């Protein structure tokens, strides 16, 4: 992870690559290796074509993407927009406005507001780690 983005420009460029997005979340969410978000099994295999993992245990929702169970799940916005937004929020000590996200990332201001709201909610009472994991803790 030596190439971790240091500037917004780098972040946008870095996260334009889906592999980088997946790895970025993966190492934060599953530092000890990928586990199934449904049953917790570590016996998962990566399906390159689908860009998803598949759990070896037989249960519904065996296949999962890196978005499953995170604040990004169910959002039509791609990780190429979400992750630079997270980067902005975590790196701008003076705070970032939805207008800045709108302008810098080229999403609508409505989307920017929504993203900012979700990111802040996830970061409010926990470490940034929560961003990439425990969606189920919020109502």
- Contact set with Zn ion (CB under 5 A): 36, 38-39, 41, 55, 57
What would the two tokens of residue 34 be?
A: 């990928």
As measured in angstroms, the least distance from the Cβ of 64 to Zn ion is 8
As measured in angstroms, the least distance from the Cβ of 40 to Zn ion is 7
Q: Which residues pair with 47 in a beta bridge?
A: 52
Half-sphere exposure of 126 (CA within 13 A, CB side): 13
Q: Which is nearer to Zn ion, 57 or 121 (CB)?
A: 57
Q: Which is nearer to Zn ion, 54 or 97 (CB)?
A: 54
What would the two tokens of residue 126 be?
A: 């926990």
Cβ neighbours for 94, distance < 8 A, ≥ 6 positions apart: none
Q: Which is nearer to Zn ion, 34 or 134 (CB)?
A: 34
As measured in angstroms, the least distance from the Cβ of 34 to Zn ion is 11
């Amino acid at each position: 992870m030596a190439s971790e983005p240091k500037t917004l420009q780098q972040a946008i460029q870095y996260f334009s690559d889906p592999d980088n997005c997946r790895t970025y979340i993966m190492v934060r969410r599953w530092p000890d290796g990928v586990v199934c978000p449904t049953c917790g099994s570590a016996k998962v295999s990566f399906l390159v074509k689908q860009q998803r993992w598949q759990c070896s245990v037989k249960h519904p929702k065996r296949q999962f993407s890196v978005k499953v169970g995170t604040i990004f799940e169910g959002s039509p916005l791609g990780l190429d927009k979400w992750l630079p937004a997270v980067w902005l929020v975590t790196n701008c000590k003076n705070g970032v406005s939805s207008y800045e996200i709108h302008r810098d990332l080229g999403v609508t201001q409505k989307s920017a507001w929504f993203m900012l709201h979700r990111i802040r909610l996830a970061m409010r009472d926990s470490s940034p780690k929560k961003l990439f994991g425990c969606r189920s803790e919020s109502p």
